Structure 1
Amino acid sequence: MKNLFLLLLFVGYSQAASACDCLMTPVRQHIKSTPYLLKGKVIAVLDDKNKEGRDYHLFLRSIGIQDTVSRGYSVKIIVQQDFKGKYKAGKIIEIHSTYSNCDMLFSAGETYILFLHKAQGNLFPTYCSYSNILDGSPASIDLVQAIRTELKSRD
């Protein structure tokens, strides 16, 4: 029993140690500073079955190994609504990860609000932003409303 408790304590600690710590600023500030803000649906998660894919990375993270060599994975998203930027509804874009502890984990078929930036010609979700799945929860409804309200006030 003591060994089980120690194992659970270790696993809990290692998960906390690999978590992404963010100091969130108001959503208005994120809207103002992000170059690309959109609502999109994931149509494909790429590279999630090979050695360098998402599952492999998650396994390494779960046993406490920080994967700094892997090239990351990407997702294809169909833009449903462009709040800010140049990607119009219906366009298919690719978003990349870097496999840091702050990366979002995407699921095919789900819809997300994405605060994005470009680095080295590729789109990435901005860390410590309000990028998140739109699951119909009060928080996701409030986020979309806050974005619409803020962008209307700028017109």
Structure 2
Amino acid sequence: MILRMNKQLALTLFSICFHFITASACDCIMHPVEKYVDTSKYIVTVKVKKLISPDVNGQSGKAILVITQSLKGTILKSQEIETDADGSDCSLTFQMNKRYLLFGNFNNSKFYVYHCSYSDEIKYSKKRIRRIRKYLKSKDQL
């Protein structure tokens, strides 16, 4: 009887704990990077100049960025762009002085990073950038 009550109490406490825990996840089915090259209007590398409303960890989905290189689309090097994010679990967050590879588009003068693309920090994107350049070069020769 006591064992049964302890099990019931444990299950009740366990379910109460999970009731108050919120989880977030971003599920993306990734395709080869070439697919994102074809569907993205702009592919750029950027450096974060200023965060807009950073959180306690010094991250933000909104930032002022400086273009360091345009791989696809016409954006001038050193041009500043402002990003916007919808706050979803798949939104990219930026940190000061870090560099990023971004796939996106402009809407109302703000740059929107595509969800479920290969947008990420440059340090994780070097091979991808080479693939993008190679793919774009092969398309130019057709």
Q: TM-score of the superposition, structure 2-length normalised? A: 0.77
1:118 CA drift (Å): 2.9
Whole-Å Cα distance in 1 between the matches of residues 127 and 22 of structure 2? Answer: 33
The correspondence of residues 48-67 of structure 1 with structure 2, limited to 5 A, is: 48=54, 54-55=55-56
Aligned to 2:3: none
Whole-Å Cα distance in 1 between the matches of residues 98 and 86 of structure 2? Answer: 21
State the 4+ residue runs in structure 1 displaced beyond 2 angstroms: 118-122
Count of equivalent residues: 126
1:87 CA drift (Å): 1.1
Aligned to 1:82: 70
Q: TM-score of the superposition, structure 1-length normalised? A: 0.71
- The letter for the 2-side match of 1:114 is L
Which one has a bigger Cα radius of gyration? 2
Aligned to 1:22: 28
The correspondence of residues 6-155 of structure 1 with structure 2, limited to 5 A, is: 10=18, 14-15=22-23, 18-48=24-54, 54-55=55-56, 74-135=62-123, 137=124, 140-155=125-140
Unaligned runs of 5+ in 2: 1-9
RMSD over aligned Cα atoms: 2.7
Unaligned runs of 5+ in 1: 49-53, 59-71
- The letter for the 2-side match of 1:75 is A
